[in-house]
Amino acid sequence: MQHYTYRMPAEWAQHDATWLSWPHKEASWPGKFEPVPTVFARMAACLSRYEEVHINVLDKAMEDAARELIRAHEQQGARMEAVHFHRIPTDDAWCRDHGPNFVAGLDQAGNIVEKVVMDWEYNAWGGKYTPYDQDNAVPSHVAELRGCRLTRPGMVLEGGAIDVNGQGLLLTTEACLLNPNRNPSMSRADIEAALGKYLGIQKVIWLKDGIIGDDTDGHVDDMARFVDEKTVVIAVEENADDPNYLPLQENLGLLESATDQSGRPLEVVRLPMPDPVYFDGERLPASYANFYIANRQVLVPTYRCANDAVALDTLQQCFPDREIVGIDCTDLVWGLGAIHCVTHEEPTIP
């Protein structure tokens, strides 16, 4: 059936599953890879309590190792029967950016008729890391596995570069989506038109720069996220001497003056930034905004500092009906990403 429109659900909509790509590229965590699979196992174990977890692995040895790490959490509620492994090859572990973007396909009357995988092009954040051809092929493998139709917009777009409220409003940054290393032949208007056509977006809120240490050219999921249809949380740095202070203040101002798809002001909630996290002399993109909204939980990165508790409490107020689960990402963020960067929701679409 020919569809006339698509709609991307918000992350808090009911999930059929969460997708992960198991970590194996040691060069992404140079000198500190060893603890990373354990962090993935903790995430998978938590998620398995309330939804299926589908994990891309290279081979049986990787599957066996991952299964053992996740099974260690059974006494804390992990359900191994909800964890599924697939031999889908990957170059790296950042499933948010290379994974399947599930959307609803709508008929002319606006009725949902099927689940569609939107297969955006992936070029490893402007060709920064090679190879990336296996990552770019992940959505097509998943679509075949799940029996979903595949649509290829022909535009480079990473999942972490956008956030939606499920009602036609999208958050992104100029630093990322307008970067010529993504879609050099597309104007801002062209990009907005593509987002409208393939995700059902009626309005785009353009923020400016991302946070320090982010090698994605400013992914929005490291600083500003929808928590419901009308509310956005944004990371704010209180230390005026910190290099994140001014960019985040500018983005805060943009959100406080922004309106939703119907012209109504947004509710804006401030989320603290953690103390700066360094490894091997490098400032890392540590942020509490890189949380993941699961069916009955919100997995939140923590960084062994006092603001962990403040961030967890702030998000608990945003999600009163979900369990807030802090997961130590001090080691994970050495790969320049945290929980949201490695997860991808598969929404329940009739």
Assign 3-class secondary structure to 6-61: EECCCCCCCEEEEEEECCCCHHHCCCCCCCHHHHHHHHHHHHHCCCEEEEECCCHH
* pLDDT digits 0-9 by tens, 264-274: 999 999 999 99
Active-site residue (options: 46, 318, 329, 341): 341
Residue 145 belongs to domain spanning: 5-347
Decide if pLDDT at 277 tops 90: yes
For residue 194, the surrounding DSSP H or E stretch is helix 188-199
Query: How high is the pLDDT of residue 1?
Result: 39
d(CA 271, CA 130): 34
Count of domains in the chain?
1
How far apart CA 137 and CA 123 sit, in angstroms, is 11
pLDDT digits (tens, 9 = 90+) for 212-223: 999 999 999 999
Answering whether pTM is above 0.85, one says yes
Contact by Cβ (8 Å): 210, 176:
yes
Supply the CATH number for residue 279's domain: 3.75.10.10
β-sheet bridge partners, residue 150: 117
CA–CA dist 229, 177 (Å, integer): 23
Per the annotation, the verdict on 95 as an active-site residue is no
pLDDT (tens digit per residue) in 151-176: 999 999 999 999 999 999 999 999 99
